[in-house]
Amino acid sequence: MMPAAETRRDNGRVKEESPVLTPVILGIDDLRPLPWTTQIARSSGEGIKLLQEHRDSFIDELWLDHDLGGDDSILPVVTLMEEAAFNERPFRIGTVFVHSANPIGSETIVRSLTRWGYSVRRATV
């Protein structure tokens, strides 16, 4: 995402300001609105695609739910992130927030991603 440059007039001259960077906050959740996210995926397949779209950029926050409706879960996304770290090319993510109501699923995500060096926190939404 290209930052937008701001301009302002100073004594009749146009002066370029530093670009304003918008944080990249991604969410993968089948039901919650997550209004603070910049993009949201509603399934593991969409989540994988979303992460791949941001492969070469920094993701400030990634919000993960475990159960994604029906038989779908976040585990394919977690596997993608683990494989990336195993291949010494982890996704560049500031913090992964796990906000699932499934305590066992949440613990699985936290344990798996922490093991591979991601900064992970449990959160309530």
Instruction: Map out the domains of the chain with their CATH numbers.
Output: 24-122 (3.40.50.2300)
Percent of the chain with pLDDT over 90: 81
**Partners of residue 14 on adjacent β-strands:** 9
pLDDT tens profile 25-39: 999 999 999 999 999
pTM given for the model: 0.83
Q: Which of 109, 104, 50, 46 is nearest to 75 (CA)?
A: 109
Residue pair 40/26 in contact by the 8 Å Cβ criterion: yes
Give the pLDDT mean for 56-64: 97
